[in-house]
Amino acid sequence: MMRYVAILLLGFLLGAGLTNLYLARQQEQLHLARAELEQRLATASEELAQLKESQARQSYQVITAIEPVITFSGDKPPAVEGRAAIQTITRTVQEILSPLMGQEVRRLNPALIPGMIDGRTIKVNGRQFQLRVTLVLVSDRVIVHLQARGLPGNGAF
């Protein structure tokens, strides 16, 4: 009988020891997870403070460049004449949109940009092209996608 009691007590002690090891391992994992979450919270708090500070001294994004992207619709000019036409149209569009340079992007109304260019006729080497805006992208650079259509009766292609 003493033998059975000893085996029973040994089983209890062994079970208690294994349970203690299992719970200690879980406690260690929870401690590590808590430390990781505290570190993430500290990092997020620091980022939030930096964002609030940068918003307080916000630097405004201004327009620094105007980039026309020109495609020809209808009859396309030959390669050399097309390059000359693209250069002239690019220069003209940049002159038209030059008042936008230096303006704050957030105060700019991008809906007005097509109105400044749409329907304009530009003469290049004795030929006339009518411009149509297809897309306007506004950031620190204003990118204007244009279609140039050669007008008939002026030596168009």
DSSP state at residue 119 = T
Residue 101, both tokens: 């340079």
Domain end (from 14, 38, 59): 59
| Same-domain check for residues 144 and 70 | yes
Q: Is the Cα dihedral 21, 27, 33, 35 positive or negative?
A: negative
Using CA atoms, how far apart are residues 100 and 108, in angstroms rounded to an integer? 8
Range of the domain at 34: 1-59
**What per-residue confidence (pLDDT) applies to 107?**
85
pLDDT, tens only, 87-130: 999 999 999 998 988 888 888 888 889 999 999 999 888 888 99
**What per-residue confidence (pLDDT) applies to 78?**
80
| Same-domain check for residues 141 and 116 | yes
Q: What is the percent of the chain with per-residue pLDDT over 70, rounded to a whole number? A: 94
Taking every pair of Cα atoms in the chain, the longest distance, rounded to a whole number of angstroms, is 120
**What per-residue confidence (pLDDT) applies to 59?**
66
pTM flag (> 0.85): no
In a domain, 155, yes or no: no
